[in-house]
Structure 1
Amino acid sequence: MNPLDVLRDSLFFFQRNLGQIVALCLPLVVLEALLQQVVDNALGPDAFPGYSVLVGLLVYPLYTGALILFLDARTRGESPRTRDLLAMSLTLWPRFALLTATSTLLILLGLSMYFLPGLCVMVMLAFAEYLLVLKGLQPLAAIKESLRLTRGHFLRILVCILCVMTPLWLLKGASSAVYPDPQNAFLGLVIDSAYSFLQLFTSVVLFRLFMLISDLPDKR
């Protein structure tokens, strides 16, 4: 299970299904970025950051849940309709939003103790979303099972996450340097939407890892 093989396979899948992923996720990604802009403009730069998290909780579970369902369907050779995936994702929203809120709090708690603990928590929770969507687990059960599944695969998962996120972090920093605040509202919407959409590749990579690790002999 070489990380480079995982990344290569994920990139091939992402490119091959890009049109369907765009149709499924991009409208909601743009909506999320637009809502973030509205909240930021209404509350100002000194607003409590929790409001931004709440906006994410409204939309992120919808397009991420739909993407996970799409990934699972495509691996089984199925081609579900976009509206069916979104409808299924909507039914998962309450549990997914609770999982997202819990995971975000745990990661932020880790980051507050310097960067490395937050990164460790991110790795250990890497499979929680897939367990909730595909296995039907409740949020706390999904977190517990993710901790179990990631045990023994920490470095492999970490390398994959860093290989995807490091270029995106650099791109985000470069865009902020070239177009510092205050920036044109439309340009800001385009940049934020593009950045969030590119982050979806992380979900594809982690799904590939999840499928590979889930197929390994039980470690209980």
Structure 2
Amino acid sequence: MNVLSILRDAWYFYSRNLTAIALLCLPLIALESAAKLAVEHWLGKGVLPAQELLTGLIFYPLYVGALILYLDARSRGFDPTAREVLARTLPLWPALALLAALGTLLIILGASLFVLPAIWVMVKIAFAEYLLVLRGLTPLAALKESFQLTRGHFLLLLGCMLAVLLPIWIAEALLAVQFMPDEKTPHPALILTFDSLFGLLQLLATVVLFRCFMLCSPPAIAEDEQGQP
């Protein structure tokens, strides 16, 4: 188990199922971006980060939870429709939203100490969403179990996460400088397009971490890896 093989397997799944993933998640990502633009329009550019975070908590749990359920179904040989997956995701939304809020607070707490503690927390809670969705743990139990399950795999998880997210973040920053200079107000359609595109690309990290989760989990969870992403 190494970073390159995990990235290769995850990219193979992501690229082959991109249409299904886009149909499942892209509408929610676009709605999230549109909602943030609306909040900024109504409250001004000085909108508090907490208000933007609350907007994200409405949509993020839905499309991430749906993607995790879709990944699990595909790994078991099923091919559910977007409607079926979303129907299973909706009851999980309150717990996923609470988990996302707790995880964000932990990362902010780590960032208040220094950058490295924030990165450490981000890696240690990487499996929490999968534990909640696939094992049915409560948010607090999922966080606690993620800390245990990631033990001994820190560098592997950090390498996988940075290999996916760093290029996306760099590309996003470069495009922002190129097309959204500070002295001009970018067109909302341009912002919506960029946000949706990069939001869809960042879902690759969810696929990569799902692969890591299945490899790092006990045999009862990863008993059948054939066909997994």
Q: TM-score, normalised by structure 2?
A: 0.93
Q: CA RMSD in A?
A: 1.3
Matching residue's letter, 2:110: G
**Superposition deviation, residue 172 in structure 1:** 1.4
Q: CA deviation at 1:217?
A: 9.7
Q: Name the CA shift for 1:217/1:135 in 2 (closer, same or farther; >3 Å).
A: closer
Letter in 1 for 2:17: N
Matches within 5 A, 1:124-163: 124-163=124-163
Number of residue pairs aligned between Structure 1 and Structure 2: 218
Which 5+ residue runs of structure 1 have no aligned equivalent? none
Mapped to 2, the partners of 1:217 and 1:32 lie a distance apart of 36
Alignment of 1:47-196 (within 5 A): 47-179=47-179, 180-181=181-182, 182-196=185-199
Q: Deviation per CA, 1:112-167, whole angstroms, max 9, x where unpaired?
A: 22211111100000000000000000000000000000000000000000000110
The verdict on how the C-alpha distance between 1:61 and 1:217 changes in structure 2, with shifts beyond 3 A counting, is closer
Which consecutive aligned stretches of 4+ in structure 1 deviate over 6 angstroms post-superposition?
none
Which residue of the partner structure matches residue 46 of structure 1?
Answer: 46
Partner of 1:211: 214
Structure 2 unpaired stretches of 5+: 222-229
Report how far residue 46 of structure 1 moved.
1.5
Q: 1:217 to 1:150 in 2, by over 3 A?
A: farther
Structure-2 separation of matches of 1:149 and 1:19: 32
